[in-house]
Structure 1
Amino acid sequence: MKDLYPDIEPFHHWRLQVDDVHSLYVEECGRRTGIPVLFLHGGPGAGCEPYHRRFFDPERYHIILFDQRGSGHSTPHASLQDNTTWHLVEDMEKLRRKLGLEKWLLFGGSWGSTLALAYAQSYPERVSGLILRGIFLCRPREIQWFYQEGASRLFPDFWEDFQAPVTRDKRDDMVSAYHELLTGKDELRRMAAAKAWSVWEGRTATLLHDEAVEHHFGQPHVALSMARIECHYFMNNAFFQQNQLLEEAGKLAGIPGIIVHGRYDVICPLESAWELYKHWPDSELQIIPDAGHSAAEPATRAALVAATDSFADRLS
C-alpha cells in the first residue's frame, strides 16, 4: 500500500466510558494541533485497523480513530446491549466534546458512511466536511440484495457456503435465521455462523478475490463482533425510519463532501451513492472504474488519499 502515508503509531490511546456498560477504545495520531478528522470504521462491528491511520497526512491532520460499541478493542466485545445507530451518534458527540473540538472532518466507508451521514444530519454545525466511500443507506432493498437475493447470483459458490449454517426451511429469511443463530446459546453454532456471515462479506469485498481480506474477515474476534452487530442492526433497519438518510439529506446543505465508490461494488451497489449525490448538491462523486467495495483496493486508496489531501488544503 505504497500510495498511503507511511505507517504511524498513535501519540495517545485511551478509553472513553460512554455509559455504565460500554467503554470505547480511542486512538489519536498525527499532529495534535492539526485539522481534526474522525475515522469511522465499517460493519457495524468491524473495528479499526492500523492501515486506517494512513489515509491522512500526519503533518497536517489530527487523526482520531475509535472502535464503536462492541467492536475492536472496545468492551464488552460483540455486545448488542444499548447498541444502536443513535447510541453511536451520541458517542461521537461525547468524543468530540471530550477532545474539545469545535468541528471535525468525517471519513467513513460502508457502514462508516452511514454513521457519518447520521451524525452530520444530527449535528451539521459540527461537521467541516465528509469523505465517504462505499455508500450504504441501510434501506431494506440493500439488505435484501446482499443477504437474500441479488449478490447471490454473482457468487453462487460463496453463497452456498453462506447458506450452510442455516437449515433449508429458514432460508427464505436469511437475516432472521442468522439472528437466531448469532444470539443463541450454542457457542459452536454461534461461532460457525459468525464466521460464515463475515467471510461472505470478505470474499465479495474486492473486484478481484483477495485472500488476505477474506482471512481478516474470518478471524474469530472480527467475525463474532461484525456478524452479531451487523445482523442486530439489519434486523432493526439500522434504527432508521424508511429512507431516512436520503429524506433528510437537506440537512447536509453547506457541508462539502467527496463520495468515492467502486463501479463494481457488490456489497453496496453504486445506486445508493448516485442517489445520495443527487440529493446533496455540495457533494462530488468519484466512480472508481476498476474497484469493488474495499477501501484497500489500489484505485480506491489513491482516490481517498487525494480526497484527504484536498480537504487539508481546503480546511487549512
Structure 2
Amino acid sequence: MTERRTLYPPIEPYRTGMLDVGDGHRLHWELCGNSQGKPVVFLHGGPGGGASPEHRRQFDPERYNILVFDQRGCGRSTPHASLEANTTWCLVDDIERLRTEVVGVDKWMVFGGSWGSTLSLAYAQTYPERVAELVLRGIFLFDQHEIDWLYKEGGASSVYPDGWERFVEAIPDEERGDLVEAYYRRLTSHDPEVQLAAAKAWSRWEGETVTLLPNAEVIEEFTEPHKAIAVARIENHYMRAGGWLEEGQLLRGAEKIRGIPGAIVQGRHDMCTPPRAAWALHKAWPEAELNIVPDGGHLYNEPGVLDRLVRATDRFSR
C-alpha cells in the first residue's frame, strides 16, 4: 500500500509585514520556506476565516517560497471584521499587489481551498498570465445553488438537522424566510451583544457543516468570539451579495484558464461544498486533474484529502 503523505514539519516565516492596500485596510502577510524557491500564494477559506501556521505546511519548504496572508478584515489584518471595501474584486486586487510588492515575481502557483478556491479562480481568470499552476480544494463557485445548499431548507439541513435547528432558532419565526438577510441585520446591529450572539450562531453552523462527525474542537474554534465575529460578518456579507459574481461566472470564465496546469481535490462526502461544483469545473477545465477522495470530507487535513494536496504540490514543485 502506498504511504500517505502528511504535512511538512512546522516552519517559521523568514519575513513578515503589513501591506497597506488602501480603503483603510492593511494585510498581514508571511513569507516562509526557501526565498529562492518556487513562489506560491496560499488563499485561505471562509471569507473572514484567516490563515494559520498549518497552511504553509502543505508545501515542501526546501522547494517553495510560500506566501500566506490574512484577507481583509480577518486574522491579524486590520481593521477587524470590517465590511467596508471588502469584496471579491478588492481581494483579487490585493493578491496582485502582494505578488508585485511583496514577492516580486512574474508568475506563481495559486493554492486555495473552499472560499479560497472561489478566490483562486477569480484571480486566475483576471490574471491568467500570472498563474503558473492552480491547486484547488473543496470547490465553491458561488452559484445560487451552493448558497441555498447552506442557508435554505433541503440542503445541508437534511444532513445536519440538529445543527440546522439551532441555526434557525436564533432568528424569530417571522424573519425566517430569508435567513441570510435576517442574520445580516443582527450581524450589523449597533448592539454588541446582539451581534455576538448572531455571530456565534452563524459560525457554529459553519463549524458543524465542515466536519462529517461532530467535532467539539472545531466548533469551539469557530465560536471563539474574536474569530466568530469576523467569520460571520464577512461571510454573511459575501453570501448576501452572491460573492459579487454573476451566476455561472466562474464556470463560463474557465476558458480563460485553459492551458494552466492544475489539480482539483474534492472529498466525496464534503457536505459544505459538495462534489457537484468540482465535477462541473473539471469538465470546463479539463487540464486540471480531478481527485475525488472517496473517504474525504471538507477539511484539508483529513488524511485522504491531505494526501492528494501534498502530492499535487510535490508534483508541481519540480
Q: For residue 5 of structure 1, what is the aligned residue in structure 2?
A: 8
Residue 43 of structure 1 is matched in structure 2 by 46
Cα distance, 1:2–1:224 mapped onto 2, change above 3 Å: farther
Q: Which residue of structure 2 lines up, in the alignment, with residue 306 of structure 1?
A: 311
Secondary structure class of the residue paired with 1:248: helix
Give distance in 2, aligned partners of 1:207 and 1:155. Answer: 9
Query: How far, CA to CA, are the matches of 2:18 and 2:203 in structure 1?
Result: 27
- In the TM superposition, residue 100 of structure 1 has moved relative to its aligned partner by 1.1
Question: Structure 1: which 5+ runs fail to align?
Answer: none
SS in 2 for 1:212: helix
What is the root-mean-square deviation of aligned Cα atoms in Å? 1.2
- Does the 8 Å contact 1:207/1:290 carry over to 2? no
Q: Which residue of 2 aligns with 1:159?
A: 164
TM-score by length of 1: 0.97
Q: What's the counterpart of residue 208 of structure 2?
A: 203
Shift of 1:209: 2.5
Does residue 1:27 correspond to 2:30, yes or no? Answer: yes
Contact 2:5/2:306 (8 A) holds in 1: no
Aligned partner of 2:204: which letter?
V
1:276 and 1:6 mapped to 2: Cα distance?
32
Give the aligned residue type for 1:24: L
- Deviates most, 208-217 or 103-112: 208-217
Q: Say yes or no: does 1:125 pair with 2:92.
A: no
Task: Show the 5 A alignment for 1:268-307.
Answer: 268-307=273-312
Stretches of 4+ aligned residues off by more than 6 angstroms: none
Q: Which of 201, 222, 226 pairs up with 1:221?
A: 226
User: Aligned partners of 1:210, 1:57: CA distance in 2, in Å?
Assistant: 29
SS in 1 for 2:22: coil
- Check whether the contact 1:110–1:135 (CA below 8 A) recurs between aligned residues: yes
The whole-number CA distance in structure 1 between the counterparts of 2:266 and 2:227 is 24
How far apart, in 2, do the equivalents of 1:10 and 1:103 lie? 21
Out of 69, 74, 91, the position equivalent to 2:77 is 74
Cα distance in 1 for residues equivalent to 2:215 and 2:306: 15
Q: How far apart in 2 are the matches of 1:296 and 1:163? A: 29
Counting matched residue pairs gives 313
TM-score (norm 2): 0.96
> Does the CA-based 8 Å contact 1:206-1:291 persist in structure 2?
no
TM-superposed deviation, 1:301: 1.1
Q: Name whichever of 164-173 and 15-24 sits farther off.
A: 164-173
What is the CA distance between 1:291 and its match in structure 2?
1.5
Please report how far the alpha carbon of residue 201 of structure 1 lies from its aligned counterpart in structure 2 after TM superposition.
Answer: 1.2
Question: 5 Å matches for 1:182-261?
Answer: 182-261=187-266
* SS class of match (2:317): helix
CA contact (8 A) 2:5 2:311 kept: no
Partner of 1:52: 55
* Aligned-partner Cα distance in 2 for 1:89–1:128: 16
Q: Counterpart in 2 of 1:92?
A: 95
Given the alignment of the two structures, is residue 15 of structure 1 paired with residue 39 of structure 2, yes or no?
Answer: no
Unaligned 5+ segments in structure 2 are none
Contact 1:207 1:291 in 2 (8 A): no
Q: Secondary structure at the match of 1:260?
A: strand
Secondary structure of the corresponding residue to residue 193 of structure 2: helix
Whether contact under 8 Å (2:138, 2:270) holds in the other structure is yes
Task: Give the Cα separation in 2 of the matches to 1:101 and 1:13.
Answer: 17
**Percent identity over paired residues:** 54
Structure 1: how far apart are the matches of 2:177 and 2:302?
33
2:210·2:298 contact (CA, 8 Å) conserved in 1? yes
Give the Cα separation in 1 of the matches to 2:244 and 2:192: 27
The separation in 1 between residues aligned to 2:195 and 2:170, in whole angstroms, is: 9
